[in-house]
Structure 1
């Protein structure tokens, strides 16, 4: 699991989201809940490429809530690596937030599963 993650608000523009992702060197942004009864969202850089850039939309006029995946599929910190990999494959995702008791702890991706998880499981 990568301890670094970035939490943004749904009203953040895609332009600002790209800037934040560059600064923080992340490939995904977690979109914060609007309230305690809401769920987290997720925006990947490929979402931006497919839903904004490829459709010739202006990144300064599109908000992340318009292109995010919500609810974001998440994993718990003690999930076995093989089950995490199966979840990714089954749902066609490449990364997910790690959430424990409603608190975001980090982000897991195929890369972190292979590079770090395989040796610890």
Structure 2
């Protein structure tokens, strides 16, 4: 099975210049725990902002969510994989690198996002007995 078979194609993105408050509102509205931080230009890398990044900023650094921009706290560059990669390799990469999500690229374009939940859900679905 290939990454393209499990990835989520409707990726929630945000501008690197958005505030933390805007990111939190976007996450809540979309029902997601992370956002892909858009590139500023074709030569830039994608980033990713998660609940963890936000909590560290608010709690540990006593950050003001209206003054801090997404690019100040996002993980960048985000790790990317090609759409044709075998899911086993993506899963191994996630485990070895202790990552919960990977950005999926088709050439130089963002094609989707693959999370550990996507992989585990598929494994659980395959493990269910057939409903005959």
Aligned to 1:40: 46
Instruction: Say which one has the larger Rg.
Output: 2
CA drift of 1:93 comes to 1.1
Aligned to 2:119: 113
CA drift of 1:97 comes to 1.4
The count of aligned residue pairs is 119
Structure 1 stretches (4+) deviating beyond 6 angstroms? none
Distance 1:46 1:56 in 2: 14
Give deviations 1:48-100, integer Å, cap 9, x for gaps. 11223343211111111001111100121121121111111222211111111
Q: Does 1:19 align with 2:25?
A: yes
Q: Kindly tell me: are residues 117 and 84 of structure 1, through their superposed partners in 2, closer, same or farther at Cα, counting changes over 3 Å? A: farther
Aligned to 2:4: none
Aligned to 1:67: 73
SS at structure 1 position matched to 2:79: coil
Q: Compare 86-95 and 14-23 and name the one that shifted more.
A: 86-95
CA drift of 1:117 comes to 6.5
TM-score (norm: length of structure 1) = 0.89
User: Gapped runs of 5+ residues in structure 2?
Assistant: 1-6, 127-132
Distance 2:45 2:76 in 1: 7
User: Gapped runs of 5+ residues in structure 1?
Assistant: none
SS at structure 1 position matched to 2:110: strand
Aligned to 1:76: 82
